[in-house]
Amino acid sequence: MNTECFDIIIVGTGASGLTLALELSEQIQAKTDSDDVPQIALISKGPILEGSTLYAQGGIAAVLDENNDTIASHINDTLNAGAGLCHLDSVEFTIERGKEAIQWVIDKGVDFSREDKSDEYHLTREGGHSQRRVIHAADATGKALSEGLLSQVKKKPNIKLFEHHLAVDLILSPHNTRQCVGIYLLDTHSNQVIEVPAKITVLATGGASKVYLYTSNPDSSTGDGIAMAWRAGCRIANMEFNQFHPTCLYHPKAKSFLISEALRGEGAKLKLINGTPFMHKFDEREELAPRDIVAQAIDYEMKRTGSDYVYLDISHKPAEFIKDHFPTIYQRCLTFGIDITSEPIPVVPAAHYTCGGIMTNLDGQTDLENLFAIGETAFTGLHGANRMASNSLLECLVFAKAAADKIKSQLRQYQCEPQLPPWDDSRVTGSEEGVVVTHNWDELRRFMWNYVGIVRKNKRLLLAKQRVQLLQREIDDYYRQYLINSDLIELRNLAIVAELIINSAMKRKESRGLHYTLDYPYKDDNKFLNDTILKPKNYQQH
């Protein structure tokens, strides 16, 4: 990559990044002469498709069966799951555009599962939903979506793909510190940092679940966009609401493998090691309760019984049904000697989704001019205190389209900054102390899991805050002395995200949704029926 000025830089190649690139390419091409088609850079920190979207199993929630489902029902289910903190305008905005978003994906060639011997799409039901409304591609929806959108992106000559480029920091205008004019990128092959100017920069970098020791997410989910936006002066909201997926495969060699919520939607039961069901003790919806309730119930039973896991059992369903609806899970479990058609699956909760993030409006605009954020890295108000299953991919599609409309309308207003400050590494040296980064990375994720996990206490939060502040000083000292690499950049970002989570959790003195604390075990609507908004020192009100 050279340092030419791009009209739009999109950092992240998951569902939101790919959708935005396609929408911009198609919308802009339709409105401009062929000699004046804006150039779009699509940046991936690793291989193009390596990200959370690729591993999404469940599906996309939308009202498609209008004979048995309604927009109002989907809205109501989302509000209930969000425990009072969903923004109604965001919920309505997203869900009302659901059917259109699904049709757009189908038009791009993505093939979803159909009913047996029928042209009708198979819809499944997941936790928190009152109806079957989740469209899916077997149990590998994210893979089908990613590959389908990428195949279309590759046909667009004005979209340039850059793999193995890690975003380091946003570049602000020397004339206006509230305006983003580009980004520093680390070429992870050459380990060189380059500055790339852009009229519009979009963060579609995903979530931050790698801040926890156990997570369903790939290694790339290190909160890069959230940390960069915070350093640049953007507000961050609701970081205390970290969703722990109730069911990840428990096996020493099964790194981060998720067992889709769709199994419970099709009748799978959670059981103790002795085979006793337990969800009826915690919620009348049992296995179909929202994820926060199910994860807390599993955590409680594991601690009560001293077990390292519980069981998820779908073996009572016909073997062919299981193999047909969950082929990926069936084959993956089989590699570890678990035949899910005849025996239960050992599962544990794991960090899964970041409900908070960079504050945006309904167009994806952040607090900085020319900077947008979409997807899991953004906070739109859709999820409130707990994301309902399969609303996340829908959010990616809807807000990518909204951001594309806004960017298209204002792109002509901006010019590229003629001279960006070059990256200066003249006063640092190569490090021979990589063990420091490795140790700090491991320690951070362990104390976040132990102190800021599914169940919290004031004392644990205080210990975590003290430790993360010490770690940040060590990381900052290391950052200033040595040449950077991808491990150091991601550790730096995770430490910032960890502190944001801790500070948000300490501000919320109640239990709501995904934030449960033993010191304040009940909801307090009188004091806390609002978002937890954190402002960096360099934040400036518009």
Per-residue pLDDT of 490-499, as tens digits, reads 999 999 999 9
Pick from 96-105, 271-280, 286-295: least confident: 286-295
Question: Which one-letter amino acid corresponds to residue 381?
Answer: G
Strand pairing report for 40-43 and 6-11? parallel
510: left (phi over 0), alpha (psi -120 to 50) or beta: beta
C-alpha 301/C-alpha 272 separation (Å) is 8
Which one, of 278, 313, 314, 312, lies nearest residue 296 by Cα? 278
C-alpha 351/C-alpha 389 separation (Å) is 14
Cβ atoms within 10 Å of 31's Cβ, excluding its own: 10
What does the chain come to in residues? Answer: 542
What number is the average pLDDT over the span 145-163?
Answer: 95
Cα–Cα–Cα angle for 158, 161, 163, rounded to 5 degrees: 170
Q: Where are the domains of the chain?
A: 6-240+355-413, 247-350, 434-522
CB 207 within 8 A of CB 220: no
- Say yes or no: domain 247-350 is CATH 3.40.50.880: no
Q: Quick one: angle between helices 391-410 and 15-31, nearest 10?
A: 30
C-alpha 185/C-alpha 2 separation (Å) is 11
Asked about 460 being catalytic, the answer comes back as no
Question: Which one-letter amino acid corresponds to residue 294?
Answer: V
What does each C-alpha distance from 283 to 127, 220, 311, 514 come to in angstroms?
12, 34, 18, 15
Q: 425-459: per-residue pLDDT in tens? A: 877 887 767 788 889 999 999 999 989 999 999 99
C-alpha 307/C-alpha 244 separation (Å) is 18
Percent of the chain at pLDDT > 70 equals: 97
Longest dimension (CA), the chain: 69
The pLDDT value recorded for residue 339 is 97
**Does pLDDT of 35 surpass 60?**
no
The pLDDT value recorded for residue 27 is 60
C-alpha 441/C-alpha 489 separation (Å) is 11
The catalytic residue among 133, 235, 291, 508 is 291
H helices present in 306-430, as ranges: 319-325, 327-335, 391-410
Question: Which one-letter amino acid corresponds to residue 494?
Answer: L
Question: Which one-letter amino acid corresponds to residue 454?
Answer: I
What does each C-alpha distance from 471 to 117, 146, 220, 506 come to in angstroms?
58, 36, 21, 19
Q: How confident is the model at residue 116 (pLDDT cuts 50, 70, 90)?
A: confident
- Say yes or no: domain 6-240+355-413 is CATH 3.40.50.720: no
The pLDDT value recorded for residue 429 is 80
Q: Residue 426: is it exposed, middle or buried by C-beta count within 10 angstroms (0-12/13-18/19+)?
A: exposed
Tell me the CATH number of domain 434-522, given options 1.10.3720.10, 3.40.50.300, 3.40.50.720, 1.20.58.100. Answer: 1.20.58.100
Structure tokens of 37? 């088609």
Cα–Cα–Cα angle for 313, 316, 317, rounded to 5 degrees: 105
